Amino acid sequence: MAQELFAPSSLIFSATLLAALSGVPLLFPWLLNASRAQLLSIVLMLAASCAGLTGAILSIFSGVSVLFELAWTLPFGSARFGVDPLSAWFLLLIFLIPGSAALYARSYWHADSRRSNVRKMTFFCGLMTAGMSSVVLARDGISFLFAWELMALAAYFLVSTEDENPEVKEAGTLYMITTHTGTLALFALFPLLNLLAGSWLFPATGSLSASSPLASAIFFLALFGFGMKAGIMPLHIWLPSAHANAPSHVSAVMSGVILKVGVYGLIRTLSFFHGIPLWWGCCVLVLGVISGVVGVAFAIGQHDLKRLLAYHSIENIGIIFMGLGVALIGQTAGSPAMMLLGMSGALLHVLNHAIFKALLFLGAGSVIHATGTREIDLMGGVARRLPYTALLFGVGSVAICGLPPLNGFVSELLIYLGFFQGIQGEGGAAAAAALAAPALALVGGLAVACFVKVYGIVFLGAPRTESHTAKHEAGWQMLLPMLLLAVLCIAIGLAPGLVAGHLQRTSLTVLPLLANTAGLPLQELVPMTMITLSGVLLLALIAVFTFWYWRKLKLAPCGKADTWGCGYQRPAPRMQYSASSFAEMLTSLFAFVLKPQNHRPDKIAGIFPGRSSFYSHVPEAVLELVYIPLLKRMYQRLSGIRRLQGGILQQYVLYSLVTLIVLLLASYL
């Protein structure tokens, strides 16, 4: 009995339940005061995190798949849930990030200072975590959709936490519209899958043929429905405003985890098929390249710290899609090395991005808390007052750029090696890989530019404005989760060998073709020990040089002076290079997609010219220039149909009844 209680799957299911209930203490204000209730719900959430993580790690280690059946009397039969290494891999982030965010919220969103919305925020945080966990546990179409909607709706309430603000409300509405458009595609996807497989239960890996037109339809629907949630490039429109307007720790969970649940859906759906045609892989790869390059280009143009991070999520989802594309192309080309490298690179990047993006969003939250603004150009010199936050944010910045010796480098290396394996082949597969690798390099270069901008303008230099000078370091409840995430970045970066075996086992569960060539360890394709060795060598050299430099500074005279102003006598902090000036060259290079709006000053003339101003802004060009005009035209053309929507509940119930009767009659005909 005790053994069963501590079985990985029971731990995971109880963690899901615990997370769902974690917000309940705050719902009884007459029993517990808000501050104590918040503490209790954080403890519940942390317990759920610990249990869930333990369960996930144990089931990855054991590598077994289990399936449970929950008999109930709904029309679609019993619900099935299960745990396998793929689910367990995603459960790692599903329990890690919300747990960290919950602790962070104690200081960032304290019950006493946020009385009006702390209940809603905490309750839906728990519910969203439970929803995400159920999505990856679900093993039949109907349970999947239930869990999916639970997650999507809880996220809506979290985005609109501060719904008294019109901007937040608008972001919430946009999120709601897009998430339901995506769900619509999923509503079509699962019946088609049912048609193809003959059951609502998910088919076994590789059991369906990808050559039928029905399979192609399923592929497109999955790409659309899950791509919408993942925020892949032309479908990303909800993401920047939702991430910017949610509380920072919620953004951390949304960006770190919810997007990945979309990726999970796609991987799961693709795993059902065998004989995948080349164009599937190329489709995913091209979408990945577009998201990567355009996402990071948009990020460079942003002045809002959280919007900028949101665009980086689009970029990183692009990198994950590139990995998936390599794996799919490898499946077509019959190259186990490509499959393994691409899939494990994508899976590792899923975990890595969750870690460093959550770290960056939490760091951004601390900065916004301290400066009272999201505008990068108003900040500056934050590192002086928030040294620990600055250090931890620095670790996150280096990691997200994919630089050694941190974790982002390892996953990008795996994907790169997948490309390099691909170019040894023939035909289309080789050409696709050869063109994608430089694109990933460009993404890496642009990410470095963008994070130098963020780090340099926000944390370094001198404060740009008096009113937004950072005031205080974040509390320990905020620093501790960030520290944990930063340590994970370093640990995975320095010792990737620790996760290699798990990556391989997880990849095997989704790539049935790999099982036939089981004698191909990931360690042989990527020398993990050499990554560790070179990382340690780099750090050792840095340590030696630092020691030497420190000795040198102690021996020689050391003076202090103002920054060299090139002869100008009265430099002021406002004259520092700003984020917009830093990004100007790159945004003008990418002007053909970014469509930046520059408001130039009026003509400056005369001896005493009047006041003048300049500002530049990179809008969400895809939303404003493509979708909104399109939707406006649809709105005008389809005005006749709007009469169906009366806003009266009874009318809608009637519609449902009529539909049911029609369907009943149809089944007799």
Partner 1 sequence: MTNITVINGTIHIFLALVMPPLLLGVIGKTKAAFAGRVGAPFFQPYYDIIRLLQKGTVFSTTTSWVFRAGPIVALATTAVAALLIPFGAHQSPISFDGDMILYAYLFALGRFFTMSAALDTGSSFEGMGSAREATFSCLAEPTLFFALITLSRLSGSYSLSNMLVNISFGVWLNNGAALLLLVGGMFVVLLAENCRIPFDDPNTHLELTMIHEVMVLDHSGPAFGIIQYAAALKLFVLGAFFVHLALPYATGNPYLDWGLFIISMLELAVVIGIVESVMARLRLIRIPQLLVGATILAAFSTLLVIR
367-426: which residues touch partner 1 (CB under 8 A)?
Answer: 380-381, 383-384, 390, 394, 397-398, 401-404, 409, 412-413, 416-417, 419-421, 423-424
- Asked if 607 interacts with partner 1 (CB under 8 A), we say no
State which of residues 530, 605, 648, 664 lies at the interface with partner 1 (CB under 8 A): 530
Amino acid at 207: S
State which of residues 31, 70, 558, 669 lies at the interface with partner 1 (CB under 8 A): 558
User: Which span sits near partner 1 by CB under 8 A: 77-85, 249-257, 458-466, 641-649?
Assistant: 458-466
Q: Give the residue with the Cβ less far from partner 1, 218 or 528.
A: 528
Alpha-carbon distance of 643 to 193, in angstroms, equals 34
DSSP 495-548: -THHHHHHHHHHHHHH-HHHHHTTT--HHHHS-HHHHHHHHHHHHHHHHHHHHH
Site string for partner 1, 467-506 (x = CB under 8 A): ----------------------------------------
Q: Give the residue with the Cβ less far from partner 1, 547 or 635.
A: 547
Nearest approach in angstroms of CB 370 to partner 1 is 16
Nearest approach in angstroms of CB 242 to partner 1 is 28
State which of residues 95, 124, 200, 451 lies at the interface with partner 1 (CB under 8 A): 451
State which of residues 18, 136, 437, 513 lies at the interface with partner 1 (CB under 8 A): 437
DSSP state at residue 292: H
Amino acid at 595: K
Q: How does strand 597-599 pair with strand 273-274?
A: unpaired
State which of residues 64, 177, 515, 537 lies at the interface with partner 1 (CB under 8 A): 537
State which of residues 7, 43, 452, 591 lies at the interface with partner 1 (CB under 8 A): 452
State whether the Cα torsion 563-569-572-575 is positive or negative: negative
State which of residues 209, 546, 651, 659 lies at the interface with partner 1 (CB under 8 A): 546
Count of C-beta atoms within a 10 Å radius of residue 67: 13
Nearest approach in angstroms of CB 424 to partner 1 is 6
Alpha helices, DSSP H, located in 401-426:
407-422
- Asked if 561 interacts with partner 1 (CB under 8 A), we say yes
- Asked if 311 interacts with partner 1 (CB under 8 A), we say no
Q: What angle do CA 146, 150, 151 make, to 5 degrees?
A: 120
Alpha-carbon distance of 132 to 143, in angstroms, equals 12
Nearest to 15 by CA among 75, 57, 62: 57
State which of residues 43, 283, 430, 483 lies at the interface with partner 1 (CB under 8 A): 430
Crossing angle of helices 305-333 and 427-454, rounded to 10°: 160
Which three-class secondary structure state does DSSP give residue 306?
Answer: helix
Nearest to 208 by CA among 193, 189, 222: 193
- Asked if 629 interacts with partner 1 (CB under 8 A), we say no
- Cα→Cα distances 37→34, 40, 162, 448, 630, Å: 5, 5, 20, 42, 47
- Asked if 534 interacts with partner 1 (CB under 8 A), we say yes
Q: How does strand 597-599 pair with strand 615-617?
A: antiparallel
Q: Give the residue with the Cβ less far from partner 1, 94 or 333.
A: 333
Positions 125 through 184 that interact with partner 1 (CB under 8 A): none
State which of residues 29, 275, 438, 646 lies at the interface with partner 1 (CB under 8 A): 438
- Asked if 527 interacts with partner 1 (CB under 8 A), we say yes
Alpha-carbon distance of 293 to 122, in angstroms, equals 36
State which of residues 98, 330, 461, 496 lies at the interface with partner 1 (CB under 8 A): 461
Positions 636 through 665 that interact with partner 1 (CB under 8 A): none
State which of residues 5, 30, 562, 592 lies at the interface with partner 1 (CB under 8 A): 562
Alpha-carbon distance of 39 to 647, in angstroms, equals 41
- Asked if 449 interacts with partner 1 (CB under 8 A), we say yes
DSSP state at residue 402: T
Positions 18 through 77 that interact with partner 1 (CB under 8 A): none
Nearest to 418 by CA among 350, 521, 339, 347: 339
Task: List all residues 6 or more positions away from 59 whose beta carbon is below 8 Å from its beta carbon.
Answer: 8, 9, 12, 83, 84, 85, 88
User: Which span sits near partner 1 by CB under 8 A: 41-49, 53-61, 454-462, 624-632?
Assistant: 454-462
Q: Give the residue with the Cβ less far from partner 1, 210 or 299.
A: 299
Nearest approach in angstroms of CB 437 to partner 1 is 5
Q: Give the residue with the Cβ less far from partner 1, 120 or 385.
A: 385
Q: Give the residue with the Cβ less far from partner 1, 72 or 614.
A: 614
State which of residues 184, 217, 431, 491 lies at the interface with partner 1 (CB under 8 A): 431
Backbone angles phi, psi at 209, to 5 degrees: -85, 140
Nearest approach in angstroms of CB 602 to partner 1 is 24
- Cα→Cα distances 167→109, 173, 242, 367, 376, Å: 20, 10, 10, 21, 19
Nearest approach in angstroms of CB 371 to partner 1 is 17
Q: Give the residue with the Cβ less far from partner 1, 217 or 462.
A: 462
State whether the Cα torsion 284-287-293-298 is positive or negative: negative
Nearest approach in angstroms of CB 116 to partner 1 is 38
- Asked if 116 interacts with partner 1 (CB under 8 A), we say no
User: Which span sits near partner 1 by CB under 8 A: 233-241, 319-327, 530-538, 600-608?
Assistant: 530-538
State which of residues 2, 31, 71, 556 lies at the interface with partner 1 (CB under 8 A): 556
Q: Give the residue with the Cβ less far from partner 1, 121 or 528.
A: 528
Q: How many residues bind partner 1 (CB under 8 A)?
A: 86
Q: What is the dihedral of CA 13, 249, 305, 260, to 10 degrees?
A: 0
Count of C-beta atoms within a 10 Å radius of residue 563: 9
Q: Give the residue with the Cβ less far from partner 1, 195 or 572.
A: 572
Q: How does strand 79-83 pair with strand 66-70?
A: antiparallel
- Asked if 462 interacts with partner 1 (CB under 8 A), we say yes
DSSP 63-123: ---EEEEE---STT--EEEEE-HHHHHHHHHHHHHHHHHHHHHHHHT-TTT-TTTHHHHHH
Positions 565 through 604 that interact with partner 1 (CB under 8 A): 565-566, 571, 573, 575-577, 581-586, 589
Q: Give the residue with the Cβ less far from partner 1, 177 or 441.
A: 441
- Please, is 384 exposed, middle or buried when counting C-beta atoms within 10 Å of its C-beta (0-12, 13-18, 19+)? middle
Q: Give the residue with the Cβ less far from partner 1, 79 or 337.
A: 337
Nearest approach in angstroms of CB 14 to partner 1 is 41
Q: What is the dihedral of CA 67, 71, 73, 78, to 10 degrees?
A: 20
- Asked if 278 interacts with partner 1 (CB under 8 A), we say no
Positions 221 through 250 that interact with partner 1 (CB under 8 A): none
Nearest approach in angstroms of CB 112 to partner 1 is 34
Alpha-carbon distance of 197 to 191, in angstroms, equals 10
DSSP state at residue 570: -
- Asked if 525 interacts with partner 1 (CB under 8 A), we say yes
